[in-house]
C-alpha cells in the first residue's frame, strides 16, 4: 500500500465573497468552475491551485451563496447572446469542507472588521 501522504495538506483561502445564488452561478460559469459544491445549506465555488510538492492548496477566490436544500444542478440564466446553462452541483468532499470552513471564517472576519462592504468590481 503506497499512500502518498507526506505531512498534512495546507489549505489557504485568500479571498471570499458572499453572493446571491444567481451571482454565484454566473461566477462559476464565467470561471468555468465545475462542479459546484454544496454543504449545510451553502453552495460555493472556488478557484484553486494545488502544489503537490508543498502539499499546499491555495484558493485565490471563493464565493458562497445560500442554498437551503441540496439540488444536483443550478441553472445560469443566459442574457442577450448567451444561452442558459445548467451547472452540476455535488456534495462537498472532506477537502472541500475545509475550504468552505475557511471561506466562512474569512467572511466572518471581514464582517466584523469592516463596516462598509467593498463592492466587487464585476458586479
Ligand atoms: Zn465564484
Cα 69 to ligand 1 centroid, rounded to whole Å: 19
Is the residue at 5 inside a domain?
A: no
Concatenated DSSP letters for 58-119? Answer: EEEEEEEEE-SS--SEEEEPP-TT---EEEEEEE--HHHHHHHHHHHHHHHHHHHH-SSPPP
pLDDT in tens, 2-48: 444 556 899 999 999 999 999 999 999 988 888 999 999 999 999 99
Is the residue at 121 inside a domain?
A: no
Cα 87 to ligand 1 centroid, rounded to whole Å: 13
Separation of alpha carbons 55 and 71, rounded Å = 32
Whole-prediction pTM? 0.78
Total domains in the chain come to 1
Cα 68 to ligand 1 centroid, rounded to whole Å: 18
Is the residue at 54 inside a domain?
A: yes
pLDDT in tens, 67-115: 999 999 999 988 888 889 999 999 999 999 999 999 999 999 877 876 5
- Mode of pairing for the β-strands spanning 85-91 and 16-18: unpaired
Cα 24 to ligand 1 centroid, rounded to whole Å: 5
Cα 104 to ligand 1 centroid, rounded to whole Å: 14
Question: What does the pLDDT read at residue 2?
Answer: 41
Range of the domain at 32: 10-111
Amino acid at each position: 500500500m503506497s499512500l502518498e501522504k507526506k505531512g498534512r495538506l495546507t489549505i489557504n483561502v485568500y479571498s471570499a465573497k458572499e453572493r446571491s445564488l444567481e451571482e454565484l452561478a454566473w461566477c462559476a460559469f464565467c470561471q468555468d468552475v465545475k462542479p459546484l459544491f454544496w454543504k449545510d445549506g451553502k453552495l460555493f465555488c472556488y478557484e484553486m491551485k494545488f502544489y503537490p510538492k508543498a502539499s499546499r492548496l491555495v484558493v485565490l477566490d471563493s464565493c458562497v451563496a445560500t442554498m437551503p436544500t441540496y439540488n444536483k444542478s443550478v441553472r445560469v440564466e443566459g442574457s442577450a447572446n448567451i444561452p442558459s446553462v445548467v451547472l452540476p452541483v455535488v456534495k462537498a468532499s472532506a477537502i472541500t469542507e475545509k475550504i468552505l470552513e475557511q471561506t466562512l471564517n474569512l467572511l466572518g472576519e471581514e464582517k466584523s472588521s469592516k463596516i462598509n462592504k467593498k463592492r466587487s468590481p464585476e458586479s
